[in-house]
Structure 1
């Protein structure tokens, strides 16, 4: 079963540094990264910069549509008003069915602020002690975690890319 975790870093570069660490851990087969994305909000910028971390996986589990919707709901929908928010209702329902509800969205939105960054990680099969050691000394905080098998299947189904 995969786990979706969101890690907050106290600086705008922390999530990108974590991606490099995860890349090393993946090559050592200490964690299986299914998909990942980062959000970085440098000081003085009006909004965060988001990026899918394609370098960690051969192909993203969810693809850009999932990350685009998730980041849109976290960072942009509150700014655009109710009309746009209503248009995303069906899609946000798919997220909610997968355990990504308003509480999740609000926790991430409230904690990812100017000068910080976050790593959004879908992973499994971590050798926990080794992964923990690799991140020792990192100034990071777990915001949210855990998808059940059913939630993961619902999320994959909702965002499966057409081939």
Structure 2
């Protein structure tokens, strides 16, 4: 079963700084990274910067389309206005079908704000306590959503190339 976790950091560069830590954890077999992306939101900007971490992605990596749609739903939809309402509703429905529901989206939206950053991590077999211990103490917070095998398969189907 895959797990989509969001690790929030209290600085705009915090999420970027743990990429090498994830590589080390993967080598120690404490986590299997399927795919990952970071969001960095400097205090003085209207919207965050996003980047997919290709060097961490495994064989089952999701397409950039998934990350783009997820980040659009999380951070850009209020900027697009009412004309995008129907499309946003359809996209939200597809995300809910794969285990990313309104509660998860609202939780991430309320916590990943200007002056923070976040690591979005699709993983398997993570030893969460060891991952938490490896990240900078007192500077990260976990928000998670588990996906069962069926939801993971739907996710891959919805966002296939």
Q: TM-score scaled to structure 1, two decimals?
A: 0.89
Q: For 2:71 and 2:153, how far apart are their aligned partners in 1?
A: 20
Secondary structure of 1:104's counterpart equals helix
75-84 vs 115-124, which moves further: 75-84
Deviation digits for residues 103-156 of structure 1 (CA, Å, limit 9, x no counterpart): 221111111111100111110112445434322615111123211222212111
Given that 1:39 and 1:51 are in contact with CA atoms closer than 8 Å, whether structure 2 keeps it comes out as yes
Check 1:111–1:52 CA distance in 2 against 1; reply closer, same or farther (3 A cut): same
Unaligned runs of 5+ in 2: none
Moved over 4 A (4+): none
Secondary structure of 2:113's counterpart equals coil
Q: Which residue of 2 aligns with 1:4?
A: 4
Given that 1:30 and 1:125 are in contact with CA atoms closer than 8 Å, whether structure 2 keeps it comes out as yes
31-40 vs 129-138, which moves further: 129-138
Q: TM-score scaled to structure 2, two decimals?
A: 0.90
1:119 aligns with 2:119: yes
Q: For 1:60 and 1:149, how far apart are their aligned partners in 2?
A: 13
Q: For 1:105 and 1:124, how far apart are their aligned partners in 2?
A: 21
Q: CA RMSD in A?
A: 1.8
Given that 1:54 and 1:60 are in contact with CA atoms closer than 8 Å, whether structure 2 keeps it comes out as no
Given that 1:61 and 1:156 are in contact with CA atoms closer than 8 Å, whether structure 2 keeps it comes out as no
**Matching of residues 26-65 of structure 1 within 5 Å:** 26-58=26-58, 61-65=61-65
